[in-house]
Amino acid sequence: MQKLDIVEYRKAYYRKNKERLSGQQKEYYRINKEKINEKNRIYNRMYYAEHKEEIEKRKAEYKKLNPEKRKEVNAKYRKSNPEKVKESSKNYRQANLEKYRVHQSNRRARIRKNGGKLSSGLSEKLFALQKGRCACCGELLGDSYHLDHIMPLFLGGENEDWNIQLLKQKCNNQKFIKHPVDFMQLRGRLL
């Protein structure tokens, strides 16, 4: 039997026994699902490793060409997996606390329409400039410090790097939206 004959024979056999073979395939998959999935995962990882640049390039092009579809898919995922999204956000905040602080300050300014945008790495620069101490009380800042607008956004202050200082959480909560001069007079720092 030649190779062509074997191929034709197999096609004819499959057409004749399609339902039985389909049932067997489904049963085999049901029984060996984990083994098959693991093989697929291994194959996918190997394929990705070999074609990483090409895949990343295609993904970037797709994102650029389909922003609305990406938004829709992301919104659907967030809606159906709220716990995963919450956990992921929490992990990101903990790993990128400095970026998160700057992002939150920029977000508040956008909501208030005060304009301006803080530069990334600002809190590290201020921490070094303030020598790790609170601008209000002079105590060591520790890890739970806040980015504070010297002139509060509520009173028309701008969301710019020059209008930011680092305060301990307690001092920032006490200052809230008070004018900086009034607040420091209440603390006995100014006459």
At residue 64, does pLDDT exceed 90? yes
For the stretch 11-54, pLDDT in tens is 888 888 888 888 888 888 889 989 989 999 999 999 999 999 99
R_g (Cα) of the chain, nearest Å: 30
- What percent of the chain has pLDDT above 70? 97
Look up the pTM and report it: 0.58
- Alpha-helical (H) ranges within the chain are 3-16, 18-31, 33-50, 52-65, 67-80, 82-95, 97-112, 122-129, 169-175, 180-186
Q: Where are the domains of the chain?
A: 93-186
In which residue are the tokens 């020598």 written?
131
- Fold held by 93-186: DNA Binding (I), subunit A (1.10.30)
For the stretch 99-149, pLDDT in tens is 988 998 899 888 888 878 999 889 899 999 999 999 998 999 988 899 999
Q: Phi and psi of 133, rounded to 5°?
A: -120, 150
